[in-house]
Amino acid sequence: MQCGLVGLPNVGKSTLFNALTESNLAQAENYPFCTIEPNIASVNVPDSRLDLLSKAAQSKSIIPSQIQFVDIAGLVKGASKGDGLGNQFLSHIRQVDVVVQVVRAFSKDGIIHVHGAVDPLFDMDVIETELLLADLQSAERQLSKKHKAIESGKDVKHILEQALAYLQSGKLLQSFNWTLQERIILSRLGFLTAKPMIYLINISEQDLMGKTFPYRDAILEHANGKPVVWMSTQVECEIAQLSQDDRSVFLKDLSIDHTGLEHIICQVYRSMGLISFFTVGPKETRSWTVREGAKAPEAAGCIHSDFEKGFIRAEVIFWEDYVAYHGEYGAKTAGRMATEGKDYVVRDGDVMLFRFNV
């Protein structure tokens, strides 16, 4: 799964990317378009349950789920017409699963703003207008083509017509009440505004420490229910340079419960409707990601397609029981293990052992 960091130039995307991925892959400079080709890096999904489960099973290793962050070059007004290498950058956004819109809400001498002044609401409008215009062009182009998808699929044509009407009204496709199947089709059609969007508001270290959130009410009104994360990329950079123990002390000193990475990934999982289940044993404790509402065979397929094809049953222990009863044997003895069939809906935190036959 890929999360694209999107925004105007000089809003802190590359600095944030380096902090989240604990790398120096992205060039962060005080001028527009210092990033041209997207930077991509995988990061582990933080989950405190993994350590607890590993200790209970005395696992030799821990393998967390991973998520990719993509640092996409800054968009500018007119990007949908190709301004500022807009066509190239918009194509990069089409490849990601979630859009994390980085918005600048701090002022600092020496760090220029592409429009001359810090105005988060204006910046958000610019980005979303360019994404909407690009989608509008895409819908018109796809409807005008007599390609196989439209000739053979009435559903696709109907969705394209709906999407066009919605875009013409000036609304993002993500805000429309699409069915799951329609969302899948929209994703295949490459619509940018159909992707889940998270607003990441980049504030100063002083505002973070003082728990003052500039433009808060206006930004929340604009977000209209979409997730908003307040973060200081400067603080995240400092956190990334610390050891795990020092991070805990640093966060406590700032009265912060979680890092920015943890906040973002939490919102990504919620926006995408994802949950985690675990496989645990002496060799390894491992986290797997599956969609919310998935049944046991689908979860088995995350591990290997043969597990799904030959699914017989799943032995399930909730993670808290696994830890409380010191592993599989204790949980089973205490009657906390359940044997479930193909219609079992996986819960976030299930420890699962799949039985299959191919």
pLDDT in tens, 74-123: 776 665 565 444 456 788 888 899 999 999 998 876 666 676 788 999 99
Whether 169 shows a pLDDT value over 60: the answer reads yes
249 and 179 within one domain:
yes
DSSP 47-106: -THHHHHHHHHT-SEEE--EEEEEEPPPP-TTGGGTGGGHHHHHHHHHT-SEEEEEEE--
pLDDT of residue 87: 58
- Residue 229 located in a structural domain: yes
- Residue 264 located in a structural domain: yes
CATH code (residue 43) = 3.40.50.300
Strand partners, 332: none
Looking at the structure of the chain, the number of domains it has is: 2
Q: Note down the domain range covering 332.
A: 293-356
pLDDT level of residue 264 (50, 70, 90 thresholds): very high
- Residue 276 located in a structural domain: no
Identity (one letter) of the amino acid at 146?
K
Residue 249 labelled as part of a binding site? no
342 and 263 within one domain:
no
189 and 158 within one domain:
yes
310 and 195 within one domain:
no
Residue that the structure tokens 């207008």 belong to: 129
Residue 10 labelled as part of a binding site? yes
Q: Which residues of 205-239 are buried (b: 16+ CB within 10 A; e: fewer)?
A: eebbeeeebbbeeebeebbeebbbbbbbbbbbbeb
pLDDT of residue 111: 67
333 and 193 within one domain:
no
- Residue 92 located in a structural domain: yes
Which of 270, 285, 308 marks a domain boundary? 270
Q: How far apart are CA 84 and CA 58, in angstroms?
A: 54
Closest to 229 measured CA to CA, from 210, 208, 245: 208
Residue 339 labelled as part of a binding site? no
228 and 131 within one domain:
yes
184 and 93 within one domain:
yes
Lowest model confidence (mean pLDDT) among 42-51, 113-122, 267-276: 113-122
- % of residues, the chain, pLDDT over 70: 89
Mean pLDDT of the region 38-42 = 87
Q: How far apart are CA 256 and CA 248, in angstroms?
A: 9
248 and 125 within one domain:
yes
Residue 11 labelled as part of a binding site? yes
CATH code (residue 311) = 3.10.20.30
69 and 110 within one domain:
yes
Residue that the structure tokens 């007599």 belong to: 146
Which of 221, 237, 270 marks a domain boundary? 270
Which of 238, 270, 302 marks a domain boundary? 270
333 and 244 within one domain:
no
342 and 264 within one domain:
no
**Quick check: 52 and 63 in contact, CB under 8 A?**
no
Q: How far apart are CA 90 and CA 110, in angstroms?
A: 28
pLDDT of residue 90: 81
Whether 151 shows a pLDDT value over 50: the answer reads no
Q: How far apart are CA 125 and CA 218, in angstroms?
A: 12
- Residue 167 located in a structural domain: yes
Alpha carbon 180 to chain centroid, angstroms: 18
Mean pLDDT of the region 129-141 = 91
Cα atoms in the Cβ-side hemisphere of radius 13 Å centred on 80: 16
- Residue 18 located in a structural domain: yes
Lowest model confidence (mean pLDDT) among 140-154, 176-190, 242-256: 140-154
- Residue 281 located in a structural domain: no
144 and 53 within one domain:
yes
- Residue 188 located in a structural domain: yes
